[in-house]
Amino acid sequence: MTANYPALRLRRTRATAWSRAMHRENFLSPADLIWPLFVTDGSGVEEPIGSLPGVSRWSLDGIAARAKEAVSLGIPCLALFPNTQPGRRSEDGREALNPDNLMCRAIKTIRDTVGDGLGVLTDVALDPYTSHGQDGLIDAKGYVLNDATVEVLVGQSLNQAAAGADIIAPSDMMDGRIGVIRAALEEAGHHNMQIMAYAAKYASAFYGPFRDAVGSGGLLKGNKMTYQMDPANGEEALREVALDLAEGADSVMVKPGLPYLDIARRVKERFEVPVFAYQVSGEYAMIEAAVTVGSGDRDALVLETLTAFKRAGCSGVLTYHAAHAARLLNA
Ligand SMILES: NCc1[nH]cc(CCC(=O)O)c1CC(=O)O
Ligand SMILES: [Mg+2]
């Protein structure tokens, strides 16, 4: 017979703050946070994003300031997303290959500002550069072509690597791209380039504010369901992860975050590799909306949700609340 009430009272260890601290199983630290930033042209520019209250697009000088802020807060890595001017967007997204594009200039700016003191994670996908807002090349019917897109993604990855990126993060969900990108990076001598694969990325309704932020939302016709995963599927996420690992990914991402914590946990248990989650724009917006109408306390909601990712087994989390959370954790 196992002990039962009253011999067993789980409330005993919860009775005091010191005891709760002593029994805590998971800890969130600033080192768990990856901070996504939106980059825009110009100088001295800060453009607030309406659907993402509290988040702005920054020109390069602002990106430099955020990089210094990240270092001082103990945040190890930034994730960059460019808002490409409409005039530089095209059907084939060729601006992704321009060595002087906004992304490459932002990478160099961060490098010049903080040296190797901060990791720079760069998104590989064509949606910030295409005139149609899809992540890849499309045929006459608007279907996103797999193999032709992968070829462009290889060029985009090499372009970001040459500019000084530390982690290449393909978010496009084309089949086979990790292997081809890995081979190209090795061939170009980028032996230490990390690849964090957006391996289990779902066709989610939580990406809306992000699409506003990079300026692709208004352009996008239709949806991304022919390449991003069906939110109803779990087994398939494990197959996606297995393939990306076999092809050479160093770590994998599950995205979105909170609604997919079960996937993060299953991936961690099955593969025992570094798993990251992306608490995406719509999740951030949901918390901010709750705070705005008085439905919750921001600090508590932020720390609780981010700690949940640690409990699920994640090594870290991409979150627009990164700086705020780090400030709370450092206080
Ligand atoms: N390749 C696009 C990309 N990379 C990151 C996000 C979403 C991130 C967020 O919502 O915060 C998206 C949006 C999409 O797939 O449409
Ligand atoms: Mg895949």
Give me the chain's average pLDDT, please: 97
Domain coverage including residue 102: 33-330
Q: Is 262 helix (H, G, I), strand (E, B) or coil?
A: helix
Q: How far apart are the first and last CA of the chain?
A: 46
Written as one string, the DSSP assignment of 90-150 is BTT-GGGG-TTSHHHHHHHHHHHHHTTSSEEEEEE-STTTBSS--SS-B-TT-PBPHHHHH
- pLDDT recorded at residue 2: 74
> Residue 201 — pLDDT band, cuts 50, 70, 90?
very high
Look up 108 and say whether it is catalytic: no
Q: Is 205 helix (H, G, I), strand (E, B) or coil?
A: helix
Confirm whether 292 is domain-assigned.
yes
Ligand 1 probe mutation, 38, 49, 127, most atoms within 8 A of CB: 127
- pLDDT recorded at residue 263: 98
Nearest CA to ligand 1 atom 8: 280
> Residue 221 — pLDDT band, cuts 50, 70, 90?
confident
Tokens of 53: 């209250």
Residue 1 has pLDDT above 70, yes or no: no
pLDDT in tens, 49-88: 999 999 999 999 999 999 999 999 999 999 999 999 999 9
CB of 164 closer than 8 Å to CB of 122: no
Dihedral angle of Cα 97, 98, 101, 103, to the nearest 10 degrees: 30
DSSP 180: H
CB of 71 closer than 8 Å to CB of 45: no
pLDDT in tens, 109-164: 999 999 999 999 999 999 999 999 999 999 999 999 999 999 999 999 999 999 99
* Ligand closest in space to the Cα of 169: 1
Tokens of 206: 């939580």
pLDDT in tens, 296-318: 999 999 999 999 999 999 999 99
Sign of the torsion angle spanned by Cα atoms 6, 7, 8, 14? positive
- pLDDT recorded at residue 56: 98
ipTM exceeding 0.90? yes
CA 12 to chain centroid: 39
Confirm whether 17 is domain-assigned.
no
Site of tokens 């289990």: 200
Q: Ligand 1: does its nearest atom lie under 6 Å from the Cβ of 280?
A: yes
Split into its structural domains, the chain has a count of 1
Look up 201 and say whether it is catalytic: yes
Q: Is 324 exposed, middle or buried (0-12, 13-18, 19+ CB in 10 A)?
A: middle
How many Å apart are CA 22 and CA 192, to the nearest integer?
39
Pairing of strands 56-58, 46-48: antiparallel
Confirm whether 9 is domain-assigned.
no
DSSP 296: S
C-alpha 224 to ligand 2 mean position (Å): 14
Confirm whether 236 is domain-assigned.
yes
Report the CATH number that the domain containing residue 256 is assigned in CATH: 3.20.20.70
> Residue 270 — pLDDT band, cuts 50, 70, 90?
very high
Confirm whether 129 is domain-assigned.
yes
DSSP 87: G
Q: Ligand 1: does its nearest atom lie under 6 Å from the Cβ of 125?
A: yes
Confirm whether 24 is domain-assigned.
no
C-alpha 173 to ligand 2 mean position (Å): 5
Q: Ion ligand 2 — residues with CB under 5 Å?
A: 240
Confirm whether 196 is domain-assigned.
yes
- pLDDT recorded at residue 194: 98
| pTM score, whole prediction | 0.97
- pLDDT recorded at residue 128: 97
CB of 199 closer than 8 Å to CB of 268: no
Nearest CA to ligand 1 atom 7: 207
Which phi and psi angles does 212 have, rounded to 5°? -60, -45
CA distances from 150 to 141, 153, 207, 274 (A): 19, 5, 22, 24
Ligand 1 probe mutation, 144, 204, 227, 280, most atoms within 8 A of CB: 280
Ligand 1 probe mutation, 134, 173, 207, 221, most atoms within 8 A of CB: 207
Confirm whether 185 is domain-assigned.
yes
Ligand 1 atom closest to the CA of 126, numbered from 1? 1
Catalytic residue among 224, 255, 268, 310: 255
